Amino acid sequence: MVEEKPNKYDQQESLPIPTYNEAISSRPSSSQSFLGPSEISHDAERQGLLGRRQPQHDGYHVPTVQSARSSLDFLPSSGENSPRGSTEELRREILQMDVVEPGADGDSRGLLLRGNLSKRITTLTQSLSSINLPFRQWLPSRDYILDKIPFLIRDLRPNWIIAGRFFALVLVLFLAYLLFLSDVFAINRRQGNGSVYYYPDSIRNFVRDHINETYIREHSQYITSFPHIAGTKGSFVLAEYVQDLFIESELEEVRLEQFDVYLNYPKKGGRRVAIVDPPELTWEAKIEEELAYADKREQTLVFHGHSRSGTVKGPLIYANYGSKEDFKRLEDQGISLKGAIAIVRYYGSQGDRALKIKAAELVGAVGCIIYSDPAEDGFERGDPYPQGRYMSSDGVQRGGVSLMSWVVGDVLSSGFASLPGEQRRDSKDNNPGLNNIPSIPLAWRDAQKLLQALKGHGKKVDDYWIGGVPGVNQWWTGDSKSPIVELANEQDEVERRPIYNVLGKITGVEQPEKSIIVANHRDAWCFGAADPGSGTAVLLEVVRIFGELQKKGWRPLRTIEFASWDGEEYNMIGSTEHVEARMDGLRSDGFAYLNVDVAVSGSEFKASGSPVLQTALLRVLERVTDPFANKTLRKIWAEKGDTLKGLGGGSDYVAFQDMAGTSSLDMSFLGNPYPYHSCYDNFDWMDKFGDPGFQYHKTMAQVWALLILELADRELLTFDFEVYANAVREYVDSLEAYAREQGAQKKDLDLTVLHEAAEVFMKNAIGFHEWDKAWEEAIGGGGFESNAMAIKRISHNTRKANFETHLLDIDGGLPGREQFKHVLFAPQAWSGYDEAFIPGVRDAIDAKNFTLAQEQAEKVAGILSYASRKLNH
């Protein structure tokens, strides 16, 4: 438990955080109309209500031998039908033999021996329901018998009766072993440590069929009932809510993990956007959104997270989307930004809001306003909220403006974890992760006046610069003679603000030290129904399902870790600090990371990730149907020609993939724009427009849960290196094309080494998967797996997961942004949400430093060839 640390932000009237008691009292309980999922699940099961849940869609699933043998929606927990039944009998028989022990009275050696034996028998019988390693390790090998038995005989000489019994026992055990090798047990290959064996297909069907959208909707309702920005009481109260549900699901080692990190919050009365000159135009922006709820619940203020504090003044200049090209266009027209306030619109050719500000800063602007244009996300696209799904005239997109593609996590602790008590801090000044000019987001309602005021100043804009703000009949760039605008953005800056991740896990039985990490962030800019409430609500349902399985005695082969991150919205802080705090452990034992941020804002399934996970994802998409289209998600994907995209920046997978080398995947159901990072991203919006009926939430939970099983519970880890090697070939080809486009001739930059390394990778990938195929043929269908084979399989799995760790340039990192270590993926330096493949080379090409690009190409080729060879050696 952590201590409550109330502070001025919690008390600030303007920050709509409920008091602790208020928040707690609105938590679900069985006595209130809102039934907490746990209460529902218990009551419902007792009363057989689960049978009344939404009509079960007959989700397509691939028939297998195993599914034919198991009932679809039935989990054997004990009894005659289960394989466990026969082993229970055997166990009883063996134990009975052990307890009848006359003649041993007073014989201490005999007792000792008996004690050891019965302990071993218990071990044996506990693991008899499986053929997994603990059992095999115990089984007397030929050497064991030859070594140990003469010794035992010598010790037992005084009591031949005991010796006789011992041999009888050995015989029984041996018979048990033979029996065990027979067909009766052959299907029964895995579990140990007291866990119960279930048919893998029955587990898959169970998770898919028991996801309950009603529970998800109720979580969503609670999560979105108050704002919860990182570092405030709202996020802390939700951390406790998540923690309680983790505990309820009997996850192990449930705890809050604290980091003390740099955050800022608006000072009351400290923000202002106003035309101050000429006098006839004086005007002041409203800045805040209207109240989203009739009950006038408090809302978070409008600001940019990690924005520079300060008050600036200057002529206003419009710069389209604020990309470097846009500022270049102004310069080409002779319009200087020196000392100006830039106004730019969201989205477009620069999708990363932090880089819009950085681009303005680099050309000499002293402040930057970013507004939401209705042509991008408002009424020009469709009805705005509350009539439709789009941004309303007063809706504002808040958001972090730290430079996530340059420094990720706590910007004052780049490269190390901000653990409580950590003394080291980087400076806020000249920090590569922070912008140096103040900025603020605005609604188009406010931007309208500013854009109108530009009329007659500078140049009329090019057509593609014209936005959709009504009432602006002429769009002008503005120049140094534009009306003067004051931008105030006074922030309270807290250098060490506690944030809390929630952690819990289910330990695996075969490789308990190896983890599949499953997570979503919890902090939101306001109520956060889509971002990230949809992901949080789905995560909680996935945890409930795995809790149910666990209560029935099921255990995965590898450990499943669940996490709810804090501080994502500022700069992926919670996840990054977590990774930095356990970097070595993750590099050796992090098998995969499965991220969901916005689970649902529409109905189109999108995924990005390491190509090594593509096959696992496709298998899962084949088993899940779209709730309305009556087709599998895989079919829909194929029809749309959709593919697994590369990982850029913008959510919590960055530290896992790019620093720890943990193969990562990020998933979402997306759609048209919505009131992103606005207080209108709330429950009412989700319920009416985002996902009425919460069917896509349910579908995401199915995909996520099945993917967890795919990675945590398949004997052969579903990693596909042929897909990966093919992808790398494409990365190299497109990098080559990019280099030529950027003016690097072959004499400047020769990428032959990279092409060759891609081929080495392909060759090794093919060779590597031969073993998978051989294993599948010999054992995959239910055959007997020898001890030696199992050891090989486990080491084979470990090598799969180590591959991406080997792709890290651990001592180097990308020149200029050394936190990023992966040689194949990083966020693009100048487009943080997008991915850069082979980023070391790409960055150098962008800097027109072809010598560095050549060096980087050789380095990457070396690392890739090494990692490829390590697959097979």
What residues act catalytically?
Answer: 568
State whether residue 628 is helix, strand or coil: coil
Helix (H) or strand (E) holding 407: none
Neighbours of 389 (CB within 10 A): 23
Window contacting Zn ion (CB under 5 A); options: 61-69, 329-337, 527-535, 760-768: 527-535
- Which of 505, 532, 528, 529 lies closest to 520 in space, CA to CA? 532
How is the chain split among helix, strand and coil, in percent rounded to 5? 45, 15, 40
Q: Is 533 in the site for Zn ion (CB under 5 A)?
A: no
Q: How far is the CB of 650 from Zn ion (least distance, A)?
A: 8
Helix (H) or strand (E) holding 694: none
Closer residue to Zn ion in complex, CB, 531/626: 531
Window contacting Zn ion (CB under 5 A); options: 131-139, 159-167, 485-493, 523-531: 523-531
Among 510, 597, 713, 785, binds Zn ion (CB under 5 A): 597
CA 156 to chain centre: 59
Closer residue to Zn ion in complex, CB, 651/854: 651
Closer residue to Zn ion in complex, CB, 532/649: 532
Neighbours of 114 (CB within 10 A): 18
Q: How far is the CB of 220 from Zn ion (least distance, A)?
A: 15
Q: How far is the CB of 565 from Zn ion (least distance, A)?
A: 10
Q: How far is the CB of 597 from Zn ion (least distance, A)?
A: 4
Closer residue to Zn ion in complex, CB, 196/396: 396
Supply the DSSP symbol for 216: H
Q: How far apart are CA 328 and CA 330, in angstroms?
A: 5
Q: How far is the CB of 666 from Zn ion (least distance, A)?
A: 11
- What residues pair up with 230 in beta bridges, in sequence order? none
- What residues pair up with 814 in beta bridges, in sequence order? 817
Q: How far is the CB of 535 from Zn ion (least distance, A)?
A: 7
Q: How far is the CB of 225 from Zn ion (least distance, A)?
A: 18
Window contacting Zn ion (CB under 5 A); options: 140-148, 529-537, 604-612, 747-755: 529-537
Encoding tokens for residue 706?
């099945």
Q: Is 566 in the site for Zn ion (CB under 5 A)?
A: no
Q: How far apart are CA 135 and CA 123, in angstroms?
A: 8
240 conformational bin, left if phi > 0, alpha if psi -120 to 50, beta if neither: alpha
Measured in degrees and rounded to the nearest 5, phi and psi for residue 753 equal -55, -35
Cβ atoms of 844 and 853 closer than 8 Å: yes
Window contacting Zn ion (CB under 5 A); options: 354-362, 531-539, 622-630, 698-706: 531-539
Residue 556 preceded by cis peptide, ω within 30: no
Closer residue to Zn ion in complex, CB, 257/666: 666
Helix (H) or strand (E) holding 817: none
Closer residue to Zn ion in complex, CB, 213/597: 597
Q: How far is the CB of 768 from Zn ion (least distance, A)?
A: 36
Contacts with 510 (C-beta within 8 Å, 6 or more apart), sequence order: 132, 133, 190, 192, 557, 558, 794
Q: How far is the CB of 790 from Zn ion (least distance, A)?
A: 41
Cβ atoms of 258 and 2 closer than 8 Å: yes
Q: What is the largest distance, in Å, between two alpha-carbon atoms of the chain? A: 114
Supply the DSSP symbol for 682: S
Closer residue to Zn ion in complex, CB, 218/531: 531
Q: How far apart are CA 224 and CA 221, in angstroms?
A: 6
**List of E strands, 601-737:** 604-609, 663-670
**Chain residues 388-447 in contact with Zn ion, contact rule CB under 5 A:** none
Helix 108-127, helix 160-181: angle, nearest 10: 10
Q: How far is the CB of 348 from Zn ion (least distance, A)?
A: 20
Q: How far is the CB of 828 from Zn ion (least distance, A)?
A: 19
Window contacting Zn ion (CB under 5 A); options: 233-241, 422-430, 532-540, 841-849: 532-540
**Chain residues 281-320 in contact with Zn ion, contact rule CB under 5 A:** none
Q: How far apart are CA 689 and CA 381, in angstroms?
A: 14
**Chain residues 98-157 in contact with Zn ion, contact rule CB under 5 A:** none
Cβ atoms of 103 and 161 closer than 8 Å: yes
Among 315, 508, 532, 646, binds Zn ion (CB under 5 A): 532
Encoding tokens for residue 401?
């403006």
Window contacting Zn ion (CB under 5 A); options: 201-209, 274-282, 341-349, 525-533: 525-533
Closer residue to Zn ion in complex, CB, 298/597: 597
Closer residue to Zn ion in complex, CB, 234/532: 532
Window contacting Zn ion (CB under 5 A); options: 196-204, 352-360, 593-601, 749-757: 593-601
Number of residues that bind Zn ion (CB under 5 A): 3
Window contacting Zn ion (CB under 5 A); options: 39-47, 487-495, 597-605, 832-840: 597-605
* Cα end-to-end distance, the chain, whole Å: 46
Neighbours of 154 (CB within 10 A): 8
Closer residue to Zn ion in complex, CB, 410/597: 597
Helix (H) or strand (E) holding 600: strand 590-600
Give the β-pairing of 484-506 and 310-318.
Answer: antiparallel
Window contacting Zn ion (CB under 5 A); options: 284-292, 498-506, 592-600, 777-785: 592-600
Closer residue to Zn ion in complex, CB, 110/650: 650
Q: Is 531 in the site for Zn ion (CB under 5 A)?
A: yes
Supply the DSSP symbol for 338: T
Closer residue to Zn ion in complex, CB, 257/531: 531
Q: How far is the CB of 677 from Zn ion (least distance, A)?
A: 9
Cβ atoms of 658 and 828 closer than 8 Å: no
Q: How far apart are CA 516 and CA 709, in angstroms?
A: 10
Q: How far is the CB of 531 from Zn ion (least distance, A)?
A: 4
Closer residue to Zn ion in complex, CB, 525/761: 525
Helix (H) or strand (E) holding 14: none
Chain position carrying tokens 């050497």: 143
Measured in degrees and rounded to the nearest 5, phi and psi for residue 396 equal -125, 140
CA 847 to chain centre: 32
**Chain residues 58-87 in contact with Zn ion, contact rule CB under 5 A:** none
CA 195 to chain centre: 28
Helix 695-712, helix 213-223: angle, nearest 10: 110
**Chain residues 768-787 in contact with Zn ion, contact rule CB under 5 A:** none
Q: Residues interacting with Zn ion, by CB under 5 A? A: 531-532, 597
